[in-house]
Amino acid sequence: QGLLVESGGGLVQAGGSLRLSCAASGRTFSSVTMGWFRQAPGKEREFVASIRWSGSTYYADSVKGRFTISRDNAKNTVYLQMNSLKPEDTAVYFCAARSTAAWGLRDSDYDYWGQGTQVTVSS
């Protein structure tokens, strides 16, 4: 079993920054791919970023250059640094983990999910 708990969401003005954290427990996730997804009201959940055990990263075009995913395997924690936030970034952000080290860009690739944290960007 594994448990993911997100934190760090909130309300921020456009152009501001937030840092999301995802603390994992119940098992170690240091050797598997972790990811962040988001879901805006009335929309499907979409991929944001992922990071492999090696530290290699991949981003959605919509956040590339503004968001940075990182991980601290010693703390079993993944982060999402979000800069230059835009109103269209408003969504519930979910942390997810695969059971393998392979890349994953679809939510169906992931086996463990957090409960989500709300990010609201005002204009």
Displacement of CA 27 from its chain's centroid (Å):
19
> Per residue in 82-100, pLDDT tens?
999 999 999 999 999 999 9
> Per residue in 40-70, pLDDT tens?
999 999 999 999 999 999 999 999 999 999 9
Q: What is the pLDDT of residue 26?
A: 85
Q: How many CA atoms lie within 13 Å of 41's alpha carbon, on the beta-carbon side? A: 5
Give the three-class secondary structure for 50. Answer: strand
Enter the tokens of residue 90. 């408003």
> At 28, which amino acid appears?
T
What are the phi and psi torsion angles at 14 (to 5°)?
Answer: -55, 135
